[in-house]
Structure 1
């Protein structure tokens, strides 16, 4: 014979209390991830809400979770930067950045001379490149000088690509803050290795430039420098352009 459970008054009250609590829980606003604490590194106001995609041209802005994860990586790298207001260009709606960062020091002891403005993921790639490849390569030079600075050109700037020869060139990755130009490398002994055309001289300067250029291709999707075209004879252009199939352009 089938039996039914009988609720006692105390059990009835307990079930009613549980149901009321569950209903209240359903009415609570969803929890949002807490941005990482970058005290001592980041300066400026907290990250603004994600603006519309129109503000940053054809590049979608980072979502809150990705941006928080990127800032955490910068904190671990020791990057010193300032979070700026969104950037846009009234004359060109295809230019702009939702959450621009102006970088003073990419890793401890390595300032960027131009204090360029970039997207967070561009800064992160530059930081890993500097820490994991440039600084160890510098230690292999004669007398093991320490990398003490990187000479940088612009990060964010609203313009089309240069040096392509096309009648209607596409928008540059600089227009989205996804690119950075590197003009030279400074060392604590006062020496500088400038990015310039080199002709198989076998010098350490040539070897360092080649190492810098080659390893940049592991972190950036575009690397252009001397020999790619005349527009890049005096600097390395590094960017994070997205291409089908994950294809990279390293010249």
Structure 2
């Protein structure tokens, strides 16, 4: 009886909270701040955008539809079955044209659809605004170390499989601006200049969109790239897993 009473109280409490949240979000013209509204990759980042992006891992057809609606040219990859825990069923490639003027190098970039969708939002809502704020110029290219790699974490002979083994992660090495300026994680992460500030801003922005964001602040193995993934860990936080010191390896 006590359990039912508590449950009834929570339900009664949740209803006005949901109504209030809905009125607040729609009053500000921000439906993306509501957990029950549909994801739109073209909208600014909302309170529940990260969770909605992570949920695309379980709905590849909808993910591909959202990419198409946002104007992203993504080609579906055939399912891949590798040894052990390797392979994927929802892979896509982002071609030389990238997304809205941002190319990938090397191209094409093949990754899971959920990662592709998350990358698109990150590029449009985080990377470009940061580049314009710090340099007054847009990013035209993102350099990467790839997504799919059939291996365990750190390439060990045993242990947990890496998120790369299912193409559910991507490693970002650097950026190129419209005037040819290069910014790399390996060379520019440390220091007090604009390049370091830009890299820290795009890392912090990734924390709001990806389940895991690892940078040189994490450990030496990530000294030259940002690791971004949408791993299912039971609970996807608003900012994701964004450590600044040593934690469990990825």
Please give the range of the TM-score, normalised by the shorter of the 2 chains.
0.5 to 0.7
Give the aligned partner of residue 144 of structure 2.
152
Instruction: Between 154-163 and 177-186, report the one with greater CA deviation.
Output: 154-163
Residue by residue over 1:202-246, the C-alpha shift from the partner in whole angstroms, topping out at 9 and shown as x without a partner, is: 211011000010010111111111131111100001001111333
SS at match of 2:62: helix
Q: Residue 109 of structure 1 is aligned with which of 101, 104, 107?
A: 101
Give the aligned partner of residue 71 of structure 1.
64
CA contact (8 A) 1:106 1:126 kept: no
Give the aligned partner of residue 113 of structure 2.
120
Instruction: Quote the Cα distance in structure 2 between the aligned partners of 1:199 and 1:82.
Output: 33
Give the 3 Å change call, closer, same or farther, for CA 138–95 of structure 1 in structure 2.
same
Asked if 1:196 is matched to 2:186, the reply is yes
Q: CA deviation at 1:198?
A: 5.6
Give the aligned partner of residue 176 of structure 2.
186
Q: Residue 85 of structure 2 is aligned with which of 74, 94, 97?
A: 94
Structure number having the greater helix percentage: 2
- The residue correspondences of 1:77-88 to structure 2 (distance < 5 A) are 77-88=70-81
Give the 3 Å change call, closer, same or farther, for CA 198–190 of structure 1 in structure 2.
closer
Give the aligned partner of residue 249 of structure 1.
241
Question: Aligned pair count?
Answer: 184
Asked if 1:161 is matched to 2:150, the reply is no
Is there any run of 5+ residues in structure 1 with no aligned partner, and where? Answer: 1-60
Instruction: Quote the Cα distance in structure 2 between the aligned partners of 1:157 and 1:68.
Output: 23
Instruction: Quote the Cα distance in structure 2 between the aligned partners of 1:245 and 1:81.
Output: 28
Instruction: Quote the Cα distance in structure 2 between the aligned partners of 1:199 and 1:108.
Output: 26
Instruction: Quote the Cα distance in structure 2 between the aligned partners of 1:87 and 1:204.
Output: 41
Instruction: Between 121-130 and 66-75, report the one with greater CA deviation.
Output: 66-75
Give the 3 Å change call, closer, same or farther, for CA 98–200 of structure 1 in structure 2.
closer
Q: Larger relative CO (CA 8 A, sep 6+): 1 or 2?
A: 2
Q: Kindly report the root-mean-square deviation, in angstroms, between the aligned alpha carbons of the 2 structures.
A: 2.2
Bigger Cα Rg: 1
TM norm structure 2? 0.68
SS at match of 1:150: strand
